Amino acid sequence: MESLTRGNRLRGPHMRTWGVLFVLCGTIFMEGVDVALLNVALPAIRADLGLSTGVLSGVVSAYVLGFGGFILLGGRAADMLGRRRMFLLWLGIFAIFSGLGGLATEGWMLLLARFVTGVAAAFIAPAGLSLITTNFAEGALRNRALIIYGAVGGAGYSLGMVTGGVLTTFGWRWVFFAPVIFASLLLAAAIPLIRDNGERAGGRFDLAGAFTVTGAMLLLIYGVVRLERPDLWAVPIFAAGLGLVAAFVAVERRAAYPLLRLGLLKTGTIARTNVSAILFMGSFSAFQFLVTLHLQEERGWSTLETGLIMATMGVDAVLGPTVTPWLIRKYGTVRVICAGAGVGAVAYLLFLPTGIDRAALVMLPALLLVGVAFALAYGPYTIAATDGVADREHGLAGGLLYTCTQFGMALGISAATAVYATGSLHAALFIPAVGAALAGALVLSRRPAPVLEPA
Q: Which pLDDT belongs to residue 397?
A: 78
Domain span including residue 305: 2-444
* Share above pLDDT 70 across residues of the chain, in percent, rounded to a whole number: 87
> Mean per-residue pLDDT for 305-322?
76
Report yes or no on 451 lying in a domain.
no
Q: Is residue 360 part of a domain?
A: yes
Given this model, what pLDDT does residue 297 score? 75
Q: Regarding predicted confidence, which is higher, 437 or 53?
A: 437
Asked whether the predicted pLDDT for residue 1 surpasses 70, the reply is no
Residue 6's pLDDT band (boundaries 50, 70, 90)? very low
Percent of residues, the chain, with pLDDT higher than 90 = 14
Higher pLDDT, 96 or 49: 96
Say whether pLDDT at 264 is over 60: yes
What whole-number distance in Å separates Cα of residue 66 and Cα of residue 107? Answer: 17
Cβ partners under 8 Å of residue 18, min gap 6: none
Q: Answer whether residue 129 is part of any domain.
A: yes
pLDDT at 11: 44
For residue 92, tell me if it sits in a domain.
yes
Q: In the predicted model, what is the mean pLDDT of residues 117-137?
A: 84
Phi and psi based region of residue 83 (left: phi greater than 0; alpha: psi -120 to 50; beta: remaining): alpha
Cα–Cα distance between 8 and 11 in angstroms, integer?
Answer: 5
Phi, psi of 269 (to 5 degrees): -110, 25
Considering its fold, how many domains does the chain have in total? 1
Report how far residue 413's alpha carbon sits from residue 285's, in angstroms, rounded to the nearest whole number: 6
Asked if the structure places residue 6 within a domain, the reply is: yes
Tell whether the model's pLDDT for residue 455 goes beyond 60. no
Judged against a pLDDT cut of 50, whether residue 427 lies above it is answered with: yes
Residues 395-421 as b/e (b if ≥16 CB within 10 A, e otherwise) read: bbbbbbbbbbbbbbbbbbbbbbbbbbe
- pLDDT for the residue 438: 93
**What is the per-residue pLDDT for 267?**
65
Q: Is the pLDDT of residue 453 over 50?
A: no
Query: Is residue 81 a part of any domain in this protein?
Result: yes
Task: Give the C-alpha separation, 406 to 209, whole Å.
Answer: 20
pLDDT at residue 360 tops 80: no
- C-alpha 310/C-alpha 335 separation (Å) is 27
As a whole number of Å, the CA-based R_g of the chain is 21
Residue 408, pLDDT above cutoff 80: yes
Contact at 8 Å (CB) between 409 and 133?
no
Q: What is the pLDDT of residue 93?
A: 94
Q: What is the pLDDT of residue 423?
A: 67
3-class DSSP string for the chain: CHHHHHHHHHHCCCHHHHHHHHHHHHHHHHHHHHHHHHHHHHHHHHHHHCCCHHHHHHHHHHHHHHHHHHHHHHHHHHHHHCHHHHHHHHHHHHHHHHHHHHCCCCHHHHHHHHHHHHHHHHHHHHHHHHHHHHHCCCCHHHHHHHHHHHHHHHHHHHHHHHHHHHHHHCCCCHHHHHHHHHHHHHHHHHHHHCCCCCCCCCCCCCHHHHHHHHHHHHHHHHHHHHCCCCCCCHHHHHHHHHHHHHHHHHHHHHCCCCCCCHHHHHCCCHHHHHHHHHHHHHHHHHHHHHHHHHHHHHCCCCHHHHHHHHHHHHHHHHHHHHHHHHHHHHHCHHHHHHHHHHHHHHHHHHCCCCCCCCCHHHHHHHHHHHHHHHHHHHHHHHHHHHCCCCHHHHHHHHHHHHHHHHHHHHHHHHHHHHHHCCCCHHHHHHHHHHHHHHHHHHHHCCCCCCCCCCC
CATH number for the domain including 11? 1.20.1250.20
Could you give the CA distance from residue 205 to residue 210 in angstroms, rounded to a whole number?
A: 8
pLDDT band at 268 (very low <50, low <70, confident <90, very high): low
User: Around 346, how many Cα atoms within 13 Å sit in the side-chain half-sphere?
Assistant: 13
Average of per-residue pLDDT across 134-139: 74
CB atoms within 10 A of CB 321: 21
Above 50 in pLDDT, residue 449?
Answer: no
pLDDT of residue 198: 61
453 in a domain, yes or no?
Answer: no
Q: Which pLDDT score is estimated for 95?
A: 93
Q: Rounded to whole angstroms, how far apart are CA atoms 342 and 444?
A: 11
Helix axis angle for 303-310 and 140-169, nearest 10°, is: 160
Q: Can you tell me the mean pLDDT for 90-117? A: 89
Residue 449 in domain? no
Contact predicate 318/347, CB 8 Å: no
Q: What is the mean pLDDT of residues 194-209?
A: 70
Amino acid at 251: V
Contact 122, 69 (CB under 8 A): yes
Task: State the chain's mean pLDDT as an integer.
Answer: 79
> What sign does the CA torsion over 182, 184, 190, 192 have?
negative
Residue 73 confidence (pLDDT): 80
Whether 448 shows a pLDDT value over 60: the answer reads no
Between 27 and 424, the more confident residue is 27
**Alpha-carbon gap, residue 88 to 188, rounded angstroms:** 10
Residue 201: pLDDT band with limits 50, 70, 90:
low
Q: How many CA atoms lie within 13 A of 427 on its CB side?
A: 9
Q: What is the model's pLDDT at position 194?
A: 82
